[in-house]
Amino acid sequence: VQIDLKQAEAIKGQLKTLGVPVLRQTFDYLTVDIPGGLEDRVRAVPGVVSIHPEARYGALEFFIPVDRKLAEFQRLFRSNPLTGPLQAFKFIQEADQGKKRVPTSVSRVAVGADVADALDITGKGVKVACLDTGTDHLGVQGLYLGGKSTVEGQPAPIDEVGHGYHVATTISGHPFQSMRGLLQGVAVEAEVMAEKVLGWGLGMGTTTTILRGMADAVEWGADIISMSLGGPEEDPGNPTDRIISALTKEGIIVVVAAGNSGPDAATLGTPGASPDSLTVGAVDIEGVIPSFSSRGPSKAGLIKPDVVAPGVNILSSTTGYIAVMQTADGPKLGAISGTSMATPTVSGCVALALQYARARGKRLTTDGIKQAMSMYGQYPGGSKRNDYGYGAIHFSILKRYIDNL
């Protein structure tokens, strides 16, 4: 329930009188449990602006191709105690046949991290809040102990899926020589908070867990909020989009996945369709868009995504279910695909650009990044497309824009 904050206490009192439990408050929203038949009476309470059903968000179920693999792997594994595990691993072996793994030491170069390296730009001093399935406290590429959990019944930010740790190490994972190649995050000295906003086995969350995660990110002082998650596209003005717009106005750069429901048009998710987010689509390491990457336009007619980055078979550290499923990639490693993998790559690139801008006394915003891509991106005249956006992001593009501010 969206409310007028000036009347918050009075609204809570009226809701209590109506028998409507208020579970929590986040920003200017109350999470409530409205008994049947009382919705109109809640809407009529002075100071109530609007009512929004709790939306469902996910890391795997909706957003990345690995979801289909993981769901089938789990189904086969559990189908028979004797033959199930063998069938499950056979399925994964066939699914990954011919896969070209792309270690993060390679994908980071595709967004210009090597150019930043030469300038001693590493993301130092930049805070990135990674809202996902949590972290691995025993991970070899970084511990990311600063996160919390907003998932009811799961108070510790432990990543049982493996998606969140893969995303966090793509942003800033410490160099690690794996059996499949060197792993290294884009911005190795960026400070990452791995917040658990998705849980319960397959990485599921709600509007409330996402909003609470964003509130924690603001309290922590995040410069960038990275969200490789989403659900079906909601109507304009939904709570997640509203808060992203508000945070963007405060200077926080919110980087989100476009979705994984391509190749058709109008397949964006929420928050990928947010007008003020930096929305990310996927390409392979050759720069070709895969069929799964979601395309615009949004319900509001916006051209999305804004940028693209490598998101196909990205090899980084993982844990949990994905580590078990991707055993052939190496111990606690996973080469997985999706706009979920492209998003942290962009978040790392933005972290590098923020450090570069600050060192020169300049300010980089979400609008500035979009303007930089419009001016110096791969399409003439600043044109934007509903598959590639402004094109592939690169540190050199952002550096050129910053130098000319």
Phi, psi dihedral angles at 110 (to 5 degrees):
-65, -25
CA angle 138, 188, 255 (to 5 degrees): 95
CA separation for the pair 369, 254 (Å, rounded): 12
43-61 pLDDT tens trace: 999 999 999 999 989 865 4
Each residue's pLDDT, cut to its tens digit, for the chain (405 residues) gives 999 999 999 999 999 999 999 999 999 999 999 998 899 999 999 999 999 999 989 865 444 466 667 778 878 888 998 899 888 888 887 778 778 999 999 999 999 999 999 999 999 999 999 999 999 988 889 877 667 999 999 999 999 999 999 999 999 999 999 999 999 999 999 999 999 999 987 788 999 999 999 999 999 999 999 999 999 999 999 999 999 999 999 999 999 999 999 999 999 999 999 999 999 999 999 999 999 999 999 999 999 999 999 999 999 999 998 998 898 899 999 999 999 999 999 999 999 999 999 999 999 999 999 999 999 998 877 899 999 999 999 999 999 999 999
Which DSSP helix (H) or strand (E) runs through 349? helix 339-359
CA 75 → CA 70, 78, 131, 174, 374, distances in Å? 8, 5, 27, 34, 45
CA separation for the pair 343, 354 (Å, rounded): 16
Query: By the 8 A CB rule, do 375 and 396 touch?
Result: no
β-bridge partners, 342: none
pTM: 0.94
CA separation for the pair 54, 64 (Å, rounded): 22
Catalogue the active-site residues.
Answer: 132, 163, 340
205-242 pLDDT tens trace: 999 999 999 999 999 999 999 999 999 999 999 999 99
CA separation for the pair 167, 384 (Å, rounded): 27
